[in-house]
Amino acid sequence: MLTRRHWLAGAPALLSVPLLSLPRAAQAASARVISVGGALTELIYAMGAQADLVGVDSTSLFPAEAKALPNVGYARTLAAEGLLSLAPTMIVATEEAGPPAVLNQLQSARIPLHVLRADHRFEGVVERTRRLGELMNRPTQARTLIDGLEQAWSQTQQTVSRVSAGHRPPRVLFVLSNAGNQARISGRGTAADAMIRYAGAVNALGEVQGYQALSPEAAIAAAPDVVLATTQGMEAVGGVDGLLRMPGLAQTPAARQRRVVSLETMEMLGFGPRLPQALAKLATALHGGGAA
């Protein structure tokens, strides 16, 4: 059995299988695409290719119309039966898709599966847009979208420079929480870390890699000026008061000033077409003392 790492390394060679038996026009007319990854779904809608979608995963919550499509479940715990029941001609996914056994089943069923690289940079959004345009026979629409994203990104960089000028960069601690599991905090190599740095702030976890469990010691040592969370996580723990009751957070500068900022999960962490607007909102909130 291939491990997930080995499978992903071989995915482009094994699974990017073109439908050579059909002319391009017929391929486009009969396309039945499943999108596994909320940011990919957003990009497909932004390109105007949503008519080709026959299914999405549980993170595909935006735009609202995507929630009306058949749901194939959470990206990390897919089931081959649910995917195959929609008779897809192609599946596009992020590197979070799994488990590997299910991906192997899709390969055996000869369903073209394209795993797009997760890259928490603006350049990654551009590359995923370009690749989706190729896969879905919409290169012109993809190029138009990229042009718009690049213009918006340039404007956002100006916003970040303006709001971050003239003061010390705030130390920000991202807390990923829900009602059922222990909260985690985010270090380097994560989407939250990339957003914090893009916003001209400092990740309070410093050089810690990946996620670690939230503990009183870790929270106090981080000494954040701002606690950053997702709106879904805030709702799960009972709002600002519930969040600040978590281990150690009450003893931080952020809690003493009640400096908590939250954004919708996929908007902030998805690195999809909403990235420029999400960063502008985040930077303004982190540097301006308000809530996003």
Local confidence pLDDT in tens for the 292 residues of the chain: 333 333 333 333 323 333 333 344 444 457 999 999 999 999 999 999 999 999 999 999 999 999 999 999 999 999 999 999 999 999 999 998 999 999 999 989 999 999 999 899 999 999 999 999 999 999 999 999 999 999 999 999 999 999 999 999 999 999 998 765 689 999 999 999 999 999 999 999 988 999 999 999 999 999 999 999 999 999 999 999 999 999 899 999 999 999 999 999 999 999 999 999 999 999 999 998 444 4
Half-sphere exposure of 16 (CA within 13 A, CB side): 14
Residue 140 one-letter amino acid: T
Among 50, 83, 116, the domain-final residue is 116
Rounded distance, CA 134 to CA 41, Å? 15
Task: From 87, 116, 145, give the residue that closes a domain.
Answer: 116
* CA 211 to mean position of chain CA atoms: 15
- Classify residue 125: in a domain, yes or no: no
Number of domains in the chain: 2
- On whether both 97 and 210 belong to a single domain, the answer is no
258, 178: one domain? yes
Q: Which range marks the domain in which residue 31 is found?
A: 4-116
Cα 26 to Cα 29, 30, 52, 267, distances in angstroms: 5, 6, 13, 35
pTM value is 0.85
- Note whether residue 151 is domain-resident: no
Residues 184 and 272 reside in one and the same domain: yes
| Domain-embedded: residue 141 | no
Q: Whole-angstrom Cα distance, residue 2 to residue 112?
A: 18
CATH number for the domain that contains residue 259? 3.40.50.1980
Using alpha carbons, select from 138, 111, 120 the residue that is nearest to residue 43: 138
